Structure 1
Amino acid sequence: MREHLRDTFWFAPMAGLVCAVLLWWAAGALDEEILAHLHRVNAYAEIRELVALTEDTKVIVTTISSAMLTFIGVVFSISLVALQMASGQRTPRVVRIFIRSRISKLTFTVFLATFLFSLLVLTSFESERSARQVTSVPLVQTLMTLLLVGLSLVLFVVYVSATLRLMQVGPVVDRIAREALRMLERQGTGAEGAGSGVPEGPETGRVAHEGRAGVLKDVHVARLVRVARRHGVVLRLIPRTGDFVLPGTPVLAVHGGAAPPRRALRYTVSVGMERTFHQDLGLGLRQLSDIALRALSPAVNDPTTAVQCLDRIVQILAAVAPLPLGTVQHRDRRGAVRLTQSIPGWTDLVDLGLTEIRVAAVSGPQVSRRLLAGIDDLLLLVPRDRQQPLVRHRTLLLQAIERAAPSPSDRRFASHPDRQGIG
């Protein structure tokens, strides 16, 4: 649920509006307590001073309430233009970084909460001037409004800085790489080479997908494990996370017994319009490859961006290199395997990260030199049984350079490994 809410932009602002109402109510109760205390001690002079003070600040609160919504519209209109530019230069999937950004949600939430809070405070002001008949002096509420405005200004500066970073290549590819590495820590790994990932025992049933067609975003692992344990079966997820599934196609295979009832499997498989980082091991490499390919297109011709993407691709592959892949096995509390899930193997990840960039790298020596250096670094890090895909890509790249370079000196230059491409 936490991951799904992070992929939405409505939850945090709505929660902020509710908190604004609660804060207004709490501040109003405190104002009433202060006023009641002053009435008990007959401090009417102090009450008149508070009324005069709050009447002076009423103009400020009114100005805040009228200007805040305009401020919100201008800020986020400019942000959407910047986001459109970033998605056009990098990849449309960069929009997801903005949606998942905590600072973006926090800024929007505080802005809306300040606007709503100031409107509510205006309802607490009274036109009565007699100190003995005053029933509301919104002193604390006014102070809270000013604090929210100050917080909004601070967040505005931080938000602008974060938005400007979103338009830079380095922070974007770094964010993608960190998301991929965090997903790898959460996902766990399986046992590549230990089998096909099919549980022991014959397949006794299948569960078809019901609902709309879409991309398999993730599965509720804990719930599937509980269902399999209660029914004494082992479940196997047939499609990989990120696959497009159609209604009626099987998503779960059952081993060791009858298929659990459909009611028990509700909300266990999440299908949406786009892939997410939650359980998708290949999404980070896919996004980095997309950015690099767009940078290498003739319309953009930005090989330095492709080199920066290659830096992060090599980083992800180096982190995955020592880990077992292929199949993830999820166990119950007693250690029995209850759910198996197929994930990309080492060869799949290498091909995903390098193939398309290798094909486009022959157009410029900067990318080919960086790609060769990255492959050489990985060859030093990976086990011997995982070197073959890297050697294959290195050989194919050198053959492509031989065919594309016009002279021996150009071929030698393009074939020389360099971690910076060309300086």
Structure 2
Amino acid sequence: MTATSGPSGGRSGPSAGGRHVLRQPHALASLRERLRDTFWFAPAAGLVAAFALWWGLAELDTSIVTHLKDEQAYDEIGDLLTFAVDARTIVTTVSAAMMTFIGVVFSISLVAVQMASGQLTPRVVRIFVRSRISKLTLTVFLATFAFSLLVLTSFEGGPDPDPRRVTSVPLLQSLLTLGLVGLSLLLFVAYVSSMLRLMRVGPVLDHIARESLRALASHSGGPVETLPLGPATARLVHREAAGVLREVGVARLVRAAGRHGTVLRLLPRTGDFVVPGTPVLTVHGGTAPSARSLRRTLSVGVERTLYQDPAFGLRQLSDIALRALSPSVHDPTTAVQCLDRIVQFLSMAVHLPLGALHHRDRRGDVRLVQEVPGWTDLVDLAFEEIRWSAAGSPQVTRRLLAALDDLLLLAGEERREPLRRHRALLVEAVERTVPEAADRAFALRPDRQGIG
């Protein structure tokens, strides 16, 4: 980012409303989220752990044989060798079959994910990438394959080795290989169950709703307040690659603003697409922080995430509902399920102060103002596009009317206007689309199940 003196355009004025943010994100939260969005870290860590386990168990097996030799217990060594000969056959079979097994399982899984993304929305692929059971299954499968290959290098001699000459018998290594095979079979059952859930609408919507509510809860803060920022003295321009603003390094921005005695205002919202040359921060009072101190405070990527962007959950639910209402699919029941989760999200947001986040330093001074979607923005995102497509489906119009009525009961007077507006527009659309009076009356009767 580059600092430019002078007033800034756009959203540089004072916030109309804001709130305290009492909790700062954990220092490792950003790293954890980045690793969850990758599919390589867990398998790579599993391969390293497999090598470390093999090395440690090989040393223990060598110590066991050395101790038995010191005790001249050659009969016991012979028994271990008999077990090792049988175990070698099993380990050889496991190492030969595991990679084929991995390829078949995950090929089928990718086909299942492709089907789910085609039926619902391409954004559900992210659920598979972030799935713990998917990563754990692939990690154990690869670790079992790699460990079995390493164990094969520990076997000594031919089919009938001499107990007096062997230096190590892979007893513990073979036992762990058998344990890994058993764990792989159990994880295979759990993984197939997880993939089947991913192909069902209900569990996918539940997953999106839970992540959205968790992201929304992380934005909880104190009371609404008005903070006059004064005129902008400088603005900071984005100089890195173009992309979606995925994450804001709040703690680093607050520290940088505190060192320079200034207040920073973040212009784009999380989820906005930014290009090089776009102003991203305005400076109010004090001196502008250096570009070096603000390095990596804004994370830009190729797609949105739910980590600091709770509105992205509504976007996904709306996308699934719109695809269900398209003429090629025509699945109003799925749209009704999406509306169930949208109401769940908005019923929590209706009680939260929305508008702008005021991040404070340890002394309580506001150092960063961050825009977040307001109540009207969330309501429009949730209902606008669905309302346009729902006029010809009585199941969806009835559920949508019931949703708006429920939210009107929960909302305070200051937040009822957008709900009333959407309700009036929905009634107008149905009256304009449905010619028969009896059909119109049926379509405009609120029902939480659509058509129960």
TM-score by length of 2: 0.91
2:218 match: secondary structure: helix
1:27 match: secondary structure: helix
Cα distance in structure 1, aligned partners of 2:295 and 2:167: 54
1:172 aligns with 2:196: no
Displacement, 1:180? 0.3
Aligned to 2:27: none
Displacement, 1:207? 1.3
Cα distance in structure 2, aligned partners of 1:363 and 1:28: 70
Ranges in structure 2 where 5+ consecutive residues have no aligned partner: 1-30
1:397 aligns with 2:397: no
1:113 aligns with 2:143: yes
Aligned to 2:406: 377
- Between structures 1 and 2, the one with greater helix share: 1
Cα distance in structure 2, aligned partners of 1:38 and 1:403: 91
Q: What letter is aligned with 1:130? A: D
1:224 aligns with 2:256: no
Cα distance in structure 2, aligned partners of 1:286 and 1:377: 21
Cα distance in structure 1, aligned partners of 2:221 and 2:323: 31
Residues 240 and 130 of structure 1, relative CA distance in 2, 3 Å threshold: same
Aligned to 1:330: 359
**1:153 aligned to which of 185, 197, 200:** 185
Aligned to 2:166: 134
1:3 match: secondary structure: helix
Displacement, 1:188? 2.7
Displacement, 1:181? 0.5
Aligned to 2:125: 95
Aligned to 1:20: 50
Cα distance in structure 2, aligned partners of 1:335 and 1:51: 70
Q: Which moved more, 1:160-169 or 1:250-259?
A: 250-259
**1:319 aligned to which of 348, 351, 356:** 348
Aligned to 1:212: 241
Q: List, as ranges, runs of 4+ consecutive aligned residues in structure 1 with deviation greater than 6 Å.
A: none
Aligned to 2:62: 32
Displacement, 1:199? 5.4
Answer yes or no: is the 8 Å Cα contact 1:242–1:280 preserved in 2. yes
Answer yes or no: is the 8 Å Cα contact 1:199–1:234 preserved in 2. no
Displacement, 1:132? 1.7
Cα distance in structure 1, aligned partners of 2:258 and 2:165: 68
Aligned to 1:412: 441
Aligned to 2:8: none
Aligned to 1:86: 116
Answer yes or no: is the 8 Å Cα contact 1:191–1:326 preserved in 2. no
Cα distance in structure 2, aligned partners of 1:251 and 1:190: 25
Answer yes or no: is the 8 Å Cα contact 2:220–2:352 preserved in 1. no
Residues 191 and 282 of structure 1, relative CA distance in 2, 3 Å threshold: farther
Displacement, 1:189? 4.6
Cα distance in structure 2, aligned partners of 1:334 and 1:172: 43
1:66 aligns with 2:96: yes
Deviations 1:235-265 (A, max 9, x none): 1111000000001111111122222111111
Answer yes or no: is the 8 Å Cα contact 1:190–1:328 preserved in 2. no
**1:341 aligned to which of 370, 392, 404:** 370
Deviations 1:345-400 (A, max 9, x none): 00000000000111111111000000000000001111111000000000000011
Displacement, 1:336? 1.4
1:283 aligns with 2:312: yes
Deviations 1:57-76 (A, max 9, x none): 10100110111010000000
2:247 match: secondary structure: strand
**2:231 aligned to which of 202, 205, 221:** 202
Aligned to 2:17: none
Identify the structure with bigger relative contact order (alpha carbons < 8 Å, sequence gap 6+).
2
Cα distance in structure 1, aligned partners of 2:153 and 2:260: 59
Ranges in structure 1 where 5+ consecutive residues have no aligned partner: none
Answer yes or no: is the 8 Å Cα contact 1:307–1:370 preserved in 2. yes
Q: Which moved more, 1:383-392 or 1:203-212?
A: 203-212
2:343 match: secondary structure: helix
Paired positions, count: 420
Displacement, 1:140? 0.3
Displacement, 1:158? 0.5
Displacement, 1:191? 6.1
Answer yes or no: is the 8 Å Cα contact 2:256–2:293 preserved in 1. yes
Displacement, 1:190? 6.9
Answer yes or no: is the 8 Å Cα contact 2:267–2:280 preserved in 1. yes
Answer yes or no: is the 8 Å Cα contact 1:370–1:421 preserved in 2. yes
1:260 aligns with 2:321: no
Q: What letter is aligned with 1:414? A: A
Displacement, 1:202? 2.5
Q: What letter is aligned with 1:360? A: S
Give the RMSD, CA atoms, in angstroms. 1.2
Aligned to 2:21: none
1:254 match: secondary structure: strand
1:218 match: secondary structure: strand
Q: What letter is aligned with 1:160? A: V
Deviations 1:277-320 (A, max 9, x none): 01112100000000000000000000000000000000000000
**1:77 aligned to which of 104, 107, 117:** 107
Residues 213 and 106 of structure 1, relative CA distance in 2, 3 Å threshold: same
Cα distance in structure 1, aligned partners of 2:272 and 2:349: 21
Answer yes or no: is the 8 Å Cα contact 1:189–1:325 preserved in 2. no
Answer yes or no: is the 8 Å Cα contact 1:190–1:327 preserved in 2. no
Displacement, 1:405? 1.0
Cα distance in structure 2, aligned partners of 1:133 and 1:210: 67
1:188 aligns with 2:257: no
Cα distance in structure 1, aligned partners of 2:121 and 2:221: 29
Displacement, 1:234? 1.4
Residues 191 and 216 of structure 1, relative CA distance in 2, 3 Å threshold: farther
